[in-house]
Structure 1
Amino acid sequence: MLKPSTVVLIDGPKGDEALKLALKLLKRDEVAAAFVHDLHRNTLHRDLGELLFNYTYFSDDEIFVEKFSHLDDSCWEVLGDDWAPYLRKGEEIESYASTFGVFFNGDQPIDPLREDNYRKFLQWHECDLQSHVKSAIKARLPF
């Protein structure tokens, strides 16, 4: 079903599976960009997104938030005290809201992926480690 200049939004699966799907899609010439939901600052999957893709943008960018956050004002009123800028389910977060990571397909022959990190990610993911173990060893990985 992919056609030239397709843009894909991934709001599930989450985590590793979302990044794997975005990686797979961006290997296709027809896919211009992949949006992945819930990639907040200073989280494992945000860090991986920044390492795996050459062309990235995140919706918690300060200039973007400054310019467009007013569009959310009525949403915060409806959602109540548990959801607000820099607050999700009552917990403080470092991102403005439910942040999207946007990964763009590069102009050929430039690959949208950082191939060396991509191979390491696939090897790491194939180990099928539990998420708490992945977090504990993240600092020791070579990427």
Structure 2
Amino acid sequence: MKERADDFQERSKKLQNMNDEELDNYFWELVEKVVDPLVNLAETHTSPSIERSVLLRMGFNSLQAKALVDKIEEENLLSKGAGNVVYKIAKQKNIGIMQAGDALLKGELWDDVEKIFRGGDTSGTSTK
């Protein structure tokens, strides 16, 4: 294995003249550079397992979460977020999240979901 040249002294020169506040700011600047691509990826990509996990944390059991995600995926709305779909319809109908999820599982409220997410209104207050 080729030995790596020790260039720490050279690379650390710009840090040596920084005070604590400047070092702190520089640290967080570097952290942002590392984390930003992960945040962007999370904002634009999801999967059924991620969406089931979100619904589980919202209080649904695993069977309900799977059924909701399957239906939301069938409706081509998974990219909107399963939890978001349930939340928005609950907010629009002024009902609880669990009640909204149960209604969706029974095949109810899907016309309203369609209006919210395909009608251009994502505020959850559509009355179209």
Quickly name the TM-score band, shorter chain normalised. Answer: under 0.3
**Relative contact order, higher structure (CA 8 A, sep 6+):** 1
Report the structure number with the largest CA radius of gyration: 2
